[in-house]
Amino acid sequence: MEPYVTSHTTNNITTIEFFHPQSNSLPGVILSLLAQTIRQAGEEKDSSVIVLKSAGTKAFCAGASFDELVQIQNESEGHEFFRGFAKVINAMRTCPKLIIARIQGKCVGGGVGLASAADYAIAVKGSDVKLSELAVGIGPFVVGPAVERKMGTGPFSAMAIDATGWRSSEWAYKHGLFSDLHETTEQVDEAVNKLAHTLSQSSPDAMLELKKIFWSGTDHWDTLLNERASISGRLILSEYSKKAIEKFKAK
């Protein structure tokens, strides 16, 4: 199947779904579509709440596309690629509607960023998490502010430093990345649908004011995440990064 981002609104609930055949990884085109679709959903008058999900039953999101990373030739291209993650996180941050993330599997790198930028994440057990960026010569610079905001400096730094180690879904729940954790995906879907329905009947003005409070102190993120994208865009050009990515691709 070809990669895609879809969106549909039913009963005041907008569901945004993304897919990539490589474990729902995120190439530039998917990042651009996600940011655009989230912004559009935020402006939709018939929508009160957004559900963000990925397709399939395995990984929620494998993070940056390695195929695209190895093709980056200069700092400008690197900055532009990582700015895609910045645009998605900022679209979620500034969206005037609450965003529920449905997490049905493992989250890596940018996938952890998506879960962190959601206002409420509901996950199935086994949705383990990892910030693998340091292992490929960069770091979780762009997603870092969202992860640190959601989980705190301690858990964020632990994941950022131990870039090859998985943290369990229970650990992610304990430290606030996931708001709710269930045994099966059926239970996750039931919980997502129930919360989305409740929020769809709630006051849009009240939810907007809540969201402003949740994200207070982040008005500088347009600049901050752009600067962080420049760091990643520079580091990805190193010989270390190129060799590390090729090793990962060869596995």
Bridge partner residues of 198 (DSSP): none
Cα angle value 25/119/139 (rounded, 5°): 45
State the average pLDDT over residues 163-171.
Answer: 97
Assign residue 146 the CATH number of its domain: 3.90.226.10
Work out the pLDDT band at 248, boundaries 50, 70, 90: confident
- Decide if 241 is inside a domain: no
Q: Which residues contact 188 (CB under 8 A, 6 or more apart)?
A: 102, 103, 104, 122, 123, 124, 182
Whether the pTM exceeds 0.75: the reply is: yes
- Decide if 142 is inside a domain: yes
- Decide if 103 is inside a domain: yes
- How does pLDDT run across 90-118, given as a tens digit for each residue? 999 999 999 999 999 999 999 999 999 99
- Decide if 233 is inside a domain: no
- How does pLDDT run across 21-37, given as a tens digit for each residue? 999 999 999 999 999 99
- pLDDT for 1 beyond 90: no
Mean pLDDT over each residue of the chain, to the nearest integer: 97
- Decide if 214 is inside a domain: no
In angstroms, rounded to a whole number, what is the distance separating the alpha carbons of residues 65 and 3? 12
- pLDDT for 249 beyond 90: no
pLDDT of residue 242: 87
In angstroms, rounded to a whole number, what is the distance separating the alpha carbons of residues 161 and 101? 25
- pLDDT for 84 beyond 80: yes
- HEC string of the chain equals CCCEEEEEEECCEEEEEEECCCCCCECHHHHHHHHHHHHHHHHCCCCCEEEEEECCCCCCECCECHHHHCCCCCHHHHHHHHHHHHHHHHHHHHCCCEEEEEECCCEECHHHHHHHHCCEEEEECCCCEECCHHHHCCCCCCCHHHHHHHHCHHHHHHHHHCCCCCECHHHHHHCCCCCEEECCHHHHHHHHHHHHHHHHCCCHHHHHHHHHHHCCCCCCHHHHHHHHHHHHHHHCCCHHHHHHHHHHHHC
Identity of residue 39: R
Could you list the residue range(s) of the whole structural domain that residue 46 is in? 4-186
pLDDT of residue 245: 87
Number of domains in the chain: 1
- Decide if 216 is inside a domain: no
State the average pLDDT over residues 66-79.
Answer: 94
- pLDDT for 11 beyond 80: yes
- Decide if 243 is inside a domain: no
- Decide if 46 is inside a domain: yes
Residue 217 sits at φ, ψ, to 5 deg, of 85, 10
